[in-house]
Amino acid sequence: MTSETVPIPHPPRIPLIGSVTSFDREVPLNTFILLAKQYGEIYQLDLFGKIIVQLNSYALINEVCNEMRFKKTVAPALAEVRDLISDGLFTAHGDEENWGIAHRLLMPAFNAQSIRGMFDDMKDICDQLVLKWERFGHDNIIDPADDFTRLTLDTIALCSMSYRFNSFYLTEPPQFAKAMVEYLKECFARATRPSIVQAMMPGASAKFQENKEFMTSVGNKIIEERKANPIEKKDLLNIMLFGVDPKTGQRLSEDTIMRNLLTFLIAGHETSSGLLTFMTYYLMKNPETMRKLRNEIDEVVGQEPIQLEDLSKMPYLIAVMRETLRLSPPTPQRSAAPVADTVLGGKYFVKAGTYLRLHIWAMHKDPTIWGEDANEFRPERMLDGKFEALPPNAWQPFGFGARACIGRAFAWQEVQLVMASVVQKFDLFFVDPSYNLELQMNLTVKPKNFHIRARPRNLGPSLYASPSSNLLQAQNQNKTNVAATSAAASSTGGSKVPLYVLYGSNTGSSESFAQRISNNAVSHGFSAKLGTLDSSTGNLPADGPVVIITATYEGQPADNAAHFVDWLTSLPSSSLFTGVKFAVFGCGNADWVNTFYRIPTLIDQTLESHGGKRLLEMGRGDSGKGEFFEVFDKWENDLWEALTKAYSTSSDSIAVGFEITTVDPGTGRAVALRQADNAVLGTVKENRVLTKPGSTGVKRHLEFELPEGLTYKSGDYLCILPQNPIRDVRRVLAYFGLSNEQMIVLKSSGPTSIPTDKPVSIYEILLGYVELSQPATSHDLSILINASTTDSTRSALEDLKANYQEKILHSRRSVLSILETFPAKDINLDLGVFLRMLPAMRIRQYSISSSPLWNACNVTLTVSVLEAPSLADGTKTFLGVGSNYLSDLLPGDKVQMSVRASPSRSATSASGFHLPEDLMRPVIAFAAGSGLAPIRAFVQERAMQKLAGRDVGKILLFFGCRSPEEDYIYQEELGEWEKMGVVDVRAAFSRANEKSEGCKYVQDRLWHDRQDIKDVTAKNAIVFICGSSKVAKGVMAKCADITRSIYPELNEEEATKKLQEVLKGRYATDVFD
What integer is the mean pLDDT of 402-425? 88
Contact 322, 346 (CB under 8 A): no
Burial of 973 (0-12, 13-18, 19+ CB in 10 A): middle
Structure confidence by residue, pLDDT tens digits, 900-912: 777 654 445 445 6
86 contacts: CB under 8 Å, gap ≥ 6: 92, 255, 259
Q: Give the 3-state secondary structure of residue 719.
A: strand
1029-1046 and 1010-1017 helices, crossing angle to 10°: 80
Give the pLDDT of residue 503.
87
Residues 91, 80: Cα–Cα separation, whole Å: 9
| φ, ψ at 494 (rounded to 5°) | 105, -150
Q: In 3D, which of 654, 683, 618, 715 has the Cα closest to residue 913?
A: 715
Class of domain 726-842: mainly alpha
Classify residue 240 as left (phi > 0), alpha (psi -120 to 50) or beta. alpha
Instruction: Please state which of the ranges 125-129, 145-149, 401-405 shows the lowest mean pLDDT.
Output: 401-405
Give the pLDDT of residue 479.
36
Q: One fold for both 482-580+597-666 and 903-1072?
A: yes
Of 126, 405, 587, 1039, which is the active-site residue?
Answer: 405
Per-chain mean pLDDT for the chain: 83
For the cut 90, the answer to whether the pLDDT of residue 80 exceeds it is no
Give the pLDDT of residue 666.
38
The count of other CB atoms within 10 Å of the CB of residue 55 is: 28
Could you tell me the pLDDT band of residue 924, with boundaries at 50, 70 and 90? Answer: very high
Buried b (16+ CB within 10 A) or exposed e, 372-402: eebeebbbebbeeeebeebeebbbbbbbbbe
Contact 843, 676 (CB under 8 A): yes
Could you tell me the pLDDT band of residue 1000, with boundaries at 50, 70 and 90? Answer: very high
For the cut 70, the answer to whether the pLDDT of residue 763 exceeds it is yes
Residues 1033, 1041: Cα–Cα separation, whole Å: 12
Which tops the pLDDT comparison, 542 or 62? 62
Structure confidence by residue, pLDDT tens digits, 925-937: 999 999 999 999 9
460 contacts: CB under 8 Å, gap ≥ 6: none
Could you tell me the pLDDT band of residue 403, with boundaries at 50, 70 and 90? Answer: low
For the cut 70, the answer to whether the pLDDT of residue 3 exceeds it is no
Which tops the pLDDT comparison, 855 or 980? 980
CATH code of 903-1072, in short, is 3.40.50.80
For the cut 90, the answer to whether the pLDDT of residue 27 exceeds it is no
Q: Which fold has domain 97-456?
A: Cytochrome p450 (1.10.630)
Residues 189, 355: Cα–Cα separation, whole Å: 18
Give the pLDDT of residue 911.
54
Give the pLDDT of residue 797.
95
Give the pLDDT of residue 595.
63
What integer is the mean pLDDT of 551-558? 76
287-301 and 315-327 helices, crossing angle to 10°: 150
Give the pLDDT of residue 590.
62
What integer is the mean pLDDT of 739-764? 78
Question: For residue 991, what are the CA distances in angstroms to 699, 962, 963?
Answer: 17, 5, 6
Give the pLDDT of residue 20.
56
Instruction: Please state which of the ranges 115-124, 765-774, 836-845, 847-856 shows the lowest mean pLDDT.
Output: 836-845
Give the pLDDT of residue 659.
24
Give the pLDDT of residue 934.
94
Across 5-14, 291-300, 556-565, the highest mean pLDDT is recorded for 291-300
Residues 481, 506: Cα–Cα separation, whole Å: 21
Q: Which CATH number fits domain 482-580+597-666: 3.40.50.360, 3.20.20.70, 3.30.365.10, 3.30.1370.110?
A: 3.40.50.360
Question: What percent of the chain has pLDDT above 70?
Answer: 87
Contact 556, 588 (CB under 8 A): no
Could you tell me the pLDDT band of residue 175, with boundaries at 50, 70 and 90? Answer: confident
Residues 343, 701: Cα–Cα separation, whole Å: 40
For the cut 60, the answer to whether the pLDDT of residue 1015 exceeds it is yes
Give the pLDDT of residue 751.
47
What integer is the mean pLDDT of 213-236? 88
| φ, ψ at 313 (rounded to 5°) | -105, 15
| φ, ψ at 1026 (rounded to 5°) | -140, 125
Give the N- to C-terminal CA distance of the chain in Å, as an integer: 38
For the cut 90, the answer to whether the pLDDT of residue 987 exceeds it is yes
Q: Give the 3-state secondary structure of residue 589.
A: coil
Long-range contacts of 401-407 (CB under 8 A, 24+ apart): 401/65, 401/67, 401/72, 401/554, 402/67, 402/554, 403/72, 403/90, 403/94, 404/554, 405/90, 405/267, 405/271, 406/89, 406/103, 406/106, 406/107, 406/110, 407/110, 407/264, 407/267, 407/268
For the sheet with 42-47, list strands across it: 42-47, 50-55, 355-359, 333-338, 70-72
Could you tell me the pLDDT band of residue 725, with boundaries at 50, 70 and 90? Answer: very high
Give DSSP secondary structure letters for 498-512.
EEEEEEE-SSSHHHH
Tell me the pTM: 0.47
For the cut 90, the answer to whether the pLDDT of residue 981 exceeds it is yes
405 a catalytic residue: yes
756 a catalytic residue: no
For the cut 80, the answer to whether the pLDDT of residue 307 exceeds it is yes
Q: Give the 3-state secondary structure of residue 341.
A: coil
Give the pLDDT of residue 676.
41
Instruction: Please state which of the ranges 14-23, 550-559, 562-571, 975-984 shows the lowest mean pLDDT.
Output: 14-23
| φ, ψ at 1032 (rounded to 5°) | -60, -45
What integer is the mean pLDDT of 855-875? 84
Residues 979, 973: Cα–Cα separation, whole Å: 10
Q: Which contiguous run of DSSP H or E holds residue 1069?
A: strand 1067-1072
Q: In 3D, which of 620, 627, 480, 607 has the Cα closest to residue 542?
A: 607
Contact 357, 373 (CB under 8 A): no
Which tops the pLDDT comparison, 139 or 458? 139
Contact 571, 666 (CB under 8 A): yes
Q: In 3D, which of 1033, 982, 985 has the Cα closest to residue 1009?
A: 985
Q: Is 719 annotated as a binding residue?
A: no
Of 188, 398, 596, 913, which is the active-site residue?
Answer: 398
For the cut 60, the answer to whether the pLDDT of residue 477 exceeds it is no
Could you tell me the pLDDT band of residue 749, with boundaries at 50, 70 and 90? Answer: low
Give the pLDDT of residue 490.
40
Give the pLDDT of residue 948.
57
Which tops the pLDDT comparison, 282 or 575? 282
Q: In the beta sheet, which residues pair with residue 142?
A: 452
Question: What percent of the chain has pLDDT above 90?
Answer: 37
| φ, ψ at 236 (rounded to 5°) | -60, -35
For the cut 80, the answer to whether the pLDDT of residue 305 exceeds it is yes
The count of other CB atoms within 10 Å of the CB of residue 620 is: 18
For the cut 90, the answer to whether the pLDDT of residue 321 exceeds it is yes
Structure confidence by residue, pLDDT tens digits, 440-471: 887 789 998 899 989 888 643 332 222 322 22
What integer is the mean pLDDT of 227-254? 86
**Domain ranges for the chain:** 97-456, 482-580+597-666, 726-842, 903-1072
The count of other CB atoms within 10 Å of the CB of residue 305 is: 10
Give the pLDDT of residue 270.
83
Which tops the pLDDT comparison, 380 or 948? 380
Which tops the pLDDT comparison, 189 or 797? 797
Q: Alpha helices, DSSP H only, in 684-746?
A: 726-736
Give the pLDDT of residue 732.
94
Of 73, 263, 271, 277, which is the active-site residue?
Answer: 271
Contact 660, 486 (CB under 8 A): no
Regarding beta strands 581-588 and 546-551, do their DSSP bridges make them parallel or antiparallel, or are they unpaired? parallel
Residues 256, 160: Cα–Cα separation, whole Å: 16
Give the pLDDT of residue 441.
84
Structure confidence by residue, pLDDT tens digits, 671-680: 555 444 444 7
Structure confidence by residue, pLDDT tens digits, 604-629: 999 999 999 999 999 988 876 656 66
Q: Fill in the amino acid letter for 97.
A: E
Q: Which one-letter DSSP state was computed for residue 516?
A: H
Burial of 487 (0-12, 13-18, 19+ CB in 10 A): middle
Beta strands in 367-419 (DSSP E): none
